[in-house]
Amino acid sequence: MTHKPLGQKNDLLGNVRVETQEEVKMKKTVFLGALTIAALTAGVGSAATLDDVKARGSLNCGVTTGLVGFAAPDANGVWEGFDVGICRAVAAAIFGDPTAVEFVPTTGQTRFTALASGEIDLLARNTTWTFSRDTDLKFEFVGVNYYDGQGFMVPKDLGVSSAKDLDGATVCIQTGTTTELNLADFFRTNGISYEPVPIETNAEAQQQYLAGACDVYTTDASGLAATRATFAAPQDHTLLPEIISKEPLGPLVRHGDSEWGDIARWTLNALVSAEELGVNSTNIAELAAAPTNNPEVNRLLGTEGELGAMIGLDANWAANAIAAGGNYGELFEKNIGENTPIGLARGLNAMWTEGGLIYSPPFR
């Protein structure tokens, strides 16, 4: 693999004025996209999504086009991954069947239109919770299932150890994402320049990066780790130490149907609470068979109280969601944890009792 020396780039892409124009262009794209999505959202209205999902007999869940560990089809075409587990948990909560899901691959550019138009009921696709997405685009984030931050991956033979050494680099970056403006801000703040290489999917980014079309690939650090794990020689690529943003990733739904938002939100909370309370895929059948001496476990699993009825679901909705793929910790360790090729430590995604940020409101 051959890379152009850093700093030897087209001068037109190496000054502040042009970088500012690039920022303006990106902001115009975001603005026009917001107008389109707002119009689509107005057309969808506040129909009862749960009724539509039940009538259809399956959940339409938007996922990435393919990111190993988070959402990707296996050799048999069966979708699996950490985000896929959220979709299956919601389907299990509604139908008692984690396979009652249609997975809809979406890109950074198409995901919001798919949600706003009603093509999908839930988006679970490495999406960052931001002010404008929550308010201007009329979406409702139901929680955070992964606390992340934007990072950089480079080939070891590029010979850099810090993102601040990337002056003049070509950078592969997915369009329609928060990483575009984060990247512009970082380079501008540090007085260095870059040449963007726009890509639409992770597969395209991987192809371009490995072909040497860009010196650097930037996206969420978890996505970089997942991508590197698929390389023939992952040890030849380095994740630089800088994390340049906050990227709280989580599932989201449309504004206008709070009842549906409650179902998605509390399904995610059920997976989190299950880990905290010691409920897992191994013991859930026993714990759900009869009330235990822990009232919150009983309320969570439907052997006490009326929580299911409050959101229009059966009493055992949360038990079904947890049984679908395990609790939050099990989903994490199975798909992206330290013993997988992705190799992610829990870090900020540890339970709050273990020094992390993962925390659920109480089931009462």
Domains in the chain, please, with CATH?
A: 11-15+148-246 (3.40.190.10), 49-145+250-354 (3.40.190.10)
> What percentage of the chain reaches a pLDDT higher than 70?
87
- 244, 178 in Cβ contact below 8 A? no
Grade residue 178 by pLDDT with cuts at 50, 70 and 90. Answer: confident
Amino acid at the residue 70: F
pLDDT of residue 6: 54
Q: Are strands 169-174 and 194-199 parallel, antiparallel or unpaired?
A: parallel
Over residues 206-235, the pLDDT tens digits come to 999 999 999 999 999 999 999 999 999 999
Could you give the C-alpha distances from 254 to 100, 125, 141, in angstroms and in order?
21, 15, 9
CA pair distance 39, 116, nearest whole angstrom:
9
Q: What is the mean pLDDT of residues 248-260?
A: 96
The tally of CA atoms less than 13 A away on the side-chain side of residue 326 is 11
Q: What is the pLDDT of residue 118?
A: 96
Least confident of 19-33, 142-156, 262-276: 19-33
The pLDDT score that the predictor gives to residue 202 is: 87
| Per-residue confidence (pLDDT) for residue 226, from 0 to 100 | 95
The predicted model scores a pTM of: 0.84
CB 65 within 8 A of CB 34: no
> Which band of pLDDT confidence, cut at 50, 70 and 90, is reported for residue 46?
very low
Give the mean pLDDT of 342-356.
Answer: 97
Q: What pLDDT, on the 0 to 100 scale, is given for residue 3?
A: 53
Residue 7 has pLDDT above 60, yes or no: no
Answer whether 125's CB lies under 8 Å from 112's CB.
no
CA distance 251 to 264: 8
Q: Where are the alpha helices (DSSP H) in the chain?
A: 16-44, 49-56, 82-95, 111-117, 131-135, 178-189, 202-210, 221-228, 258-277, 284-289, 295-301, 307-310, 317-325, 328-335
SS3 358: strand
Residue 23 pLDDT class (50, 70, 90 cuts): very low
